[in-house]
Amino acid sequence: MNFYSIVTKAGAGMKTEELETMFDHAFRESVTLTRFVPDTEESWTRLQKKLAKRYRIRRRMGLFKVLPFIVVSFLLGAFLFGTPTVSNAFQQVATVIKQDIFGISDDTTSHNLIPKTAPPPDYKLFYD
């Protein structure tokens, strides 16, 4: 029995006690048929997915925050405790890049340079 049928019968001159009995019966029936609490399994599954996604993002962001410190400590350790051969290898690579790509020569010391003109007569060399 629904609320509409109760109201129409009440308007037709029904007794108050019968109306209350029918209303109580309809109310109990609607309460038993209505679910007040939603299905917890479905909402918990959605919440677990959201929490897992948030955890992955936070973990990744934490790694990005720590990564510069890891790189700096690695470079500092390589600089302080690196062998001279490694340092020489970097110098050789830098020399090759300067000569081949930029055309800059490291041989700029005065004893390797051969002047194209003769010095003035009163000029005295430092290494003589």
Give the pTM: 0.31
Evaluate whether residue 80 is within a structural domain: yes
Same domain, 36 and 57: no
Tell whether 116 is covered by a domain: no
pLDDT tens profile 18-45? 878 888 888 888 878 777 777 778 888 9
Q: Are residues 29 and 54 in the same domain?
A: no
In a domain, 71, yes or no: yes
DSSP for 98-124, written as a single string: IIIII---S---TTT---SSPPPTT--
Q: Is 27 domain-assigned?
A: yes
- Intervals of the chain under pLDDT 50: 110
- What pLDDT was estimated at residue 1? 55
Same domain for 97 and 58? yes
List the structure tokens of 85: 């051969």
**Across the chain, how many H-helices and E-strands are there?**
4, 0
What pLDDT is recorded for position 74?
A: 86
Same domain, 61 and 32: no
Residue 86 lies in a domain: yes
Q: For the chain, how many structural domains are there in total?
A: 2
The pLDDT, as a whole number, for residue 10 is 54
Q: Which domain holds residue 60?
A: 49-105
Q: For residue 35, count CB atoms less than 10 angstroms from its CB and return exposed for 0-12, middle for 13-18, buried for 19 or more.
A: exposed
